[in-house]
Structure 1
Amino acid sequence: MFVLLGCGAWLFSAFLLVSTLGLLFVVDMNPARIGAIMSQVMWRSASSWELSAIPLFILMGELIFHTDIARRLFRGLSPWVDRLPGRLLHANVGGCTIFAAISGSSVATAATIGKITIGELDKRGYDRNLSLGSLAGAGTFGLMIPPSINMIIFGVIAEVSVAKMFAAGVVPGLILAALYSGYIALRCGLDPSKAPAAGTSSWGDRLRGLVDLAPIMLLVVIVLGSIYTGVATPSESAVMGLAATLVVAIVTRQLTVKIFIEALMSTVRTSSMILTLMTAASFMSAALGYMHVPQDVATAIGALDITPLQLVALLALFYIILGCFLDGISIMLMSLPIVLPLVTAAGYDPIWFGVFLIVVTELGLITPPIGFNLFVLQGLTRLSLGRLAKAAFPFFLLTCLAGAILVAFPQLVLWLPDALF
């Protein structure tokens, strides 16, 4: 697999080739039988109803990206954070937190909020490292805070409830946001020059800010509220959220034929990439099963006689290293067929592990050489990857701290899904 990826092969073709060769030469399976297994497994994976939510949420995020809803978000948050140490830097964190609750994508979150806040914060004299680092880190919230595309994929692969996965991501997402904002407040409290004073907002400004926040908060309530109240499944809530986004775009007179076509084309490209990878990964998972790889790895790990905590620590290190070279979805699709049985055998809840896995794959988004959020910020600022990685490093450590907190207190992940479902 790594040889093929190192040679520049597409992940989809690498999955299929490795799986086919494994069945041919390790299992000595008949080619016709391999073809039958491939068609059955890939069709079953592609026809999963839960996956229909992915293109819908992507289209929803694309429409928001092409309108001024995100700009209204920043404008609405600004008067509410101007008295906090760090002032508008908290709008980076808060904006990414709220936008992540409707986009499901970390790259879209970082790109959309970054387009608005980077110029504003530079113009007002805010510390650039804190500005860029907080944006790079908070952009990863798109993986954690529901509706997360990664959570949908994990739920389908691990055969756990996607609605429970969504609920499980809420508290960890808020913990991450609180850690980021706390760090910003501490740094700016010790050195106020990092966040220059501005005019104090009145209560009238704050109330007008609520008007700007209303459209995006309405979308959050429709999408997440419909799931958590049991009114809709995640796929049905995606339909409701998309319909509401279209209504908001039409009412605010921002939806044009050009914008709609651009959003559709981007959605087709992204959805095709994700779902194609999923079908190929499902075949690889089946092939690994026929080759007894998960069982053999479990036996080898068991022979090491390590504790569950040591297992999680080793996996975290493995995922952090892997995240330097691959995106989160690819890592998840490659590793879950082998890793998930190990983790559940060690006594960990699969929903807890799904959230923990997302936390550690978030780290890959802000680590070179292939940190997607760093590439997004590089496109917006023209700064070097090294400079951006240095700015993001404190938030890398804060994300590691969040992962450690979830290991120490797993009920932070499991409490809300248990309470709602």
Structure 2
Amino acid sequence: MTATLVLIGLLALLALGVPVGFAMLITGSVGLYALVGFDALQGVLDSSPLSVASAFEFLTIPLFLLMAEFVLRSGKVDDLFRATAAWVGELRGGLGMATAMAGAGFGAICGTSTASAATLSATSLPAMIRQGYHPSFAAGVVAISGTLAMLIPPSVAMIVYGLLANVDIGKLLIAGILPGLLVMGTIIATVYILATRHPEHAPSVGHVSWSEKFSMLRSVLPILILFGVVTSVIYLGVATPTEAAAVGASGAFLLMASCGKLTRANLLEALNRAAHGSAMIIVILIGATVFGYFFALTQVTQNLVGWVGNLDAAPWVILVCVLFGYIVLGAFLDQIAILVLTVPMVVPLMASLDYDLIWFGVLVIVTAELGMVTPPVGLNCFIVARYAARPLGEVFRGVAPHFFAHVIAIALLALLPQITLFLPSLMK
């Protein structure tokens, strides 16, 4: 009964707009007080912030956020879209394909979907509309391409899942590479099909000489090298994800300096934004920790696992139901909120069904991507509409075909776990 009342209270606070970290902290504290009294609650509140903040793996988040901020201020992000557009822009729907590639490239630097969507809205969306692309077509491509940042390493959502599920973060980040490329390919294929069916919505752009193509490619070479170094040191076992994040942040700092953008204002703004993002995530994790203590005492997770174990249903049926639940939740909640609310309950369930937790984590992240473009919330669609000054309905219409294509990609990843687990299996 206590667990039910606390869950109702949590949902009520979220409905009132209370940030998820504080909502979980408040309701978890109330639940603990009701179950074990004030002294035990005080012990949990005294130890939880230190245990979360002192985790070595948590340093990965502020360092990757700092890397993203430095790269953003280097001015190289605009070059990323121009370079991809130069190479594939002559194809039918080429600028849309370039947006998907740029989304993957920026995701490899940024790690957060909302920042990726905002950046693409300011760069690729105006370029597509200037070239005669239908606004709805262009907005849909930008909104869905922004979600790649959740999957392509480094991904803040992946790191949060790894911390909550207690799985190897290095393997988890590397596991996102091939699924990320698959999702990028799915977006490109969808753009090509839509552009072929409605060529007036996606005209090709003018010819770009080979010398210009290679010149533009050279301009983004520092970003490609930075991503390659960060990913390689994790994959080869040379460095932990935290150490790789430090290398990435240092490299991004040097990149910003080499581009002549190392000013006091830029440096302070980058540090401030990275600190703000890190503080937001640590509050969420502290709230999740307190709420997790409450859940452990009520044995809700153990009861759920036992109940599912007694069901006369195949494991894949349960997996499909769980993934469908993530799509529904994604329509209303932010992806980080979804992870902290569900992972402590769902991961033990998946483990009891003998599913690989790294593979499942990638599936959860890919499914959560859909929530970023699903009505009524669809955070990426709101961001694109705001930054591009386009009607929200136009963005949702443009992203609808990509939603169904995304479902096909999720089905492939669920049916073929080796796509996700191949690279991690080769790691040292």
Aligned-pair CA distance for 1:277: 0.5
CA distance in 1, matches of 2:325, 2:349: 14
User: Please, which runs of 5 or more residues in structure 2 have no aligned partner?
Assistant: 1-9
The yes-or-no answer on 1:20 pairing with 2:29 is yes
How many residue pairs match? The answer is 419
Counterpart in 2 of 1:316?
323
CA distance in 2, matches of 1:338, 1:276: 20
For residues 17-51 of structure 1, the C-alpha deviation after alignment (integer angstroms, 9 at most, x for no partner) is 222222233xx313101211332244222211011
Which deviates more, 213-222 or 173-182?
A: 213-222
User: Please, which runs of 5 or more residues in structure 1 have no aligned partner?
Assistant: none
- Decide whether the 8 Å contact of 1:104 with 1:147 is kept in 2: yes
Counterpart in 1 of 2:14?
5
1:139-154 equivalences in 2 (<5 Å): 139-154=146-161
- Decide whether the 8 Å contact of 1:365 with 1:371 is kept in 2: yes
The yes-or-no answer on 1:274 pairing with 2:274 is no
For residues 197-227 of structure 1, the C-alpha deviation after alignment (integer angstroms, 9 at most, x for no partner) is 3321221122112112212112111211221
Within the candidate set 370, 373, 378, 1:371 is matched to 378
Letter in 2 for 1:66: R
Aligned-residue RMSD, C-alpha: 1.5
Within the candidate set 43, 51, 56, 2:50 is matched to 43
Aligned-pair CA distance for 1:61: 1.2
Aligned-pair CA distance for 1:10: 2.8
For residues 299-322 of structure 1, the C-alpha deviation after alignment (integer angstroms, 9 at most, x for no partner) is 222333221111111111211111
1:230-249 equivalences in 2 (<5 Å): 230-249=237-256
The yes-or-no answer on 1:124 pairing with 2:131 is yes
CA distance in 1, matches of 2:92, 2:235: 34
Counterpart in 1 of 2:111?
104
Within the candidate set 391, 402, 407, 2:414 is matched to 407
Change (3 A) 1:369 1:66: farther
Counterpart in 2 of 1:333?
340
Aligned-pair CA distance for 1:143: 0.5
1:378-417 equivalences in 2 (<5 Å): 378-417=385-424
For residues 230-251 of structure 1, the C-alpha deviation after alignment (integer angstroms, 9 at most, x for no partner) is 2211111111111111111111
Counterpart in 1 of 2:5?
none
- Alignment partner of 2:376: what SS? coil
For residues 63-104 of structure 1, the C-alpha deviation after alignment (integer angstroms, 9 at most, x for no partner) is 222331111111211221034331111110010011111111
- Alignment partner of 2:144: what SS? helix
The yes-or-no answer on 1:84 pairing with 2:107 is no
Letter in 1 for 2:32: L
CA distance in 2, matches of 1:66, 1:246: 10
CA distance in 2, matches of 1:393, 1:53: 34
CA distance in 2, matches of 1:202, 1:19: 61
Change (3 A) 1:191 1:12: closer
Counting aligned pairs with the same residue, the percent is 32
1:139-288 equivalences in 2 (<5 Å): 139-288=146-295
1:49-68 equivalences in 2 (<5 Å): 49-68=56-75
Letter in 2 for 1:366: V
Aligned-pair CA distance for 1:167: 1.0
CA distance in 2, matches of 1:175, 1:102: 18
CA distance in 1, matches of 2:204, 2:327: 38
